[in-house]
């Protein structure tokens, strides 16, 4: 699974943000969570690119998938989960 560490780290961050927002909800907190998520994702992407096994990605390239499309799908799932958690927290408040 390409990007499993990105999804794992992003999921932990999402759960932490949701737990924090449940405890101290504010609409500005939703915006701050998104801004922190962008910075956190930039750091995770840098570390992923720095320590990525270059031979492992060729398996997916040989299947006809591009690296950019795989990364876009991984990041969209990660940000989609954050958006879903923020919507659930806002609706439950």
pLDDT tens, residue order, the chain (93 aa): 678 889 999 999 999 999 999 999 888 998 999 999 999 999 999 998 898 877 777 878 888 888 889 899 999 999 999 999 999 999 998
CA-nearest of 16, 56, 45 to 32 is 16
| Predicted structure pTM score | 0.85
Element containing residue 83 per DSSP (H, E) = helix 67-92
- The distance in angstroms from the start CA to the end CA of the chain is 36
Distance CA 47, CA 51 (A): 6
Quote the distance between the C-alpha of residue 51 and its chain's center: 18
Distance CA 41, CA 11 (A): 11
pLDDT score recorded for residue 84: 95
Distance CA 51, CA 87 (A): 34
pLDDT score recorded for residue 17: 93
pLDDT score recorded for residue 81: 95
């Amino acid at each position: 699974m390409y990007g499993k560490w990105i999804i794992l780290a992003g999921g932990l961050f999402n759960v932490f943000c949701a737990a924090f927002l449940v405890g101290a909800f504010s609409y500005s907190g939703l915006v701050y969570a998104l801004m922190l998520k962008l910075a956190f994702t930039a750091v995770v992407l840098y570390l992923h690119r720095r320590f990525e096994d270059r031979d492992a990605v060729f398996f997916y390239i040989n299947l006809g998938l591009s690296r950019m499309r795989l990364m876009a799908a991984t990041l969209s799932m990660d940000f989609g989960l954050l958006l879903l958690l923020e919507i659930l927290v806002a609706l439950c408040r």
